[in-house]
Amino acid sequence: MWGDEKAALDIYCKMYAEQGTQARHHDTLRATVSGLIITAIGALLAFSKFDSIGHTFGWAILVLSVLGCLLSLKHYERNRLHTRMQIAFSNEIDSILTKSGLRMSIIFEESRKNQGLFLKILNTIRLFLLWLIIFVFLGGLGFYIATR
C-alpha cells in the first residue's frame, strides 16, 4: 500500500467512525425526545380526566403528538444522512483495501444475506414508521378528548 493510500485509508476510517457516532447520536436524541413527549402526553391524559375543561388537554396532546412526529422524522432523516455518508466512506475504504487483496464488502454482503433469513417480515417494516404510529395514535386520542 502506497503512502498516499495509507493516509487516505486512515482519514476514511476516522470519518467512517465519526459518521457512525453522529448516526447513533441522532437515534439517541430521537429516543430521548420521544420518551419525554410520550411521558408528557401520559401526564396530560391523567389530568384530562380530572379537569372540567379536558378538551384543552386533548388539544395539548394533539400538538405534542404532531411535534413528536416531526422531531422523530427529523432525527431519522439526520440518522439516514450520516448512515449514507458512512456507507460512502466504507465504499472508499473497500476500494483501497481491494487493491491490497482485501475486501470489506464481502463481510457486509454476508451479514446482509444472513440477516434476511431472520423473520423476513420484519425486514419490510421501517422502524421510524413504528415510532410514527405511536404518535399518530396518541394524536388521535388527543383529538378524541378535545372534541368529545
Residue boundaries of the structural domains of the chain: 3-147
pLDDT of residue 32: 96
What pLDDT is recorded for position 104? 75
Specify the pLDDT at position 116: 63
- Helix-helix angle 127-147:54-99, to 10 degrees: 170
- How many whole angstroms separate alpha carbon 10 and alpha carbon 4? 10
Cβ atoms of 69 and 139 within 8 Å: the answer is yes
Residues in the chain with pLDDT < 50?
Answer: none
What is the C-alpha to C-alpha distance for residues 96 and 16, in angstroms, rounded to an integer? 14
CA atoms of 30 and 79, how far apart (whole Å): 10
Cα dihedral 19, 21, 26, 29 in deg (nearest 10) = -170
d(CA 94, CA 106): 10
- Give the pLDDT score at 1: 52
Question: What's the burial of 29, exposed, middle or buried (CB within 10 Å: 0-12/13-18/19+)?
Answer: middle
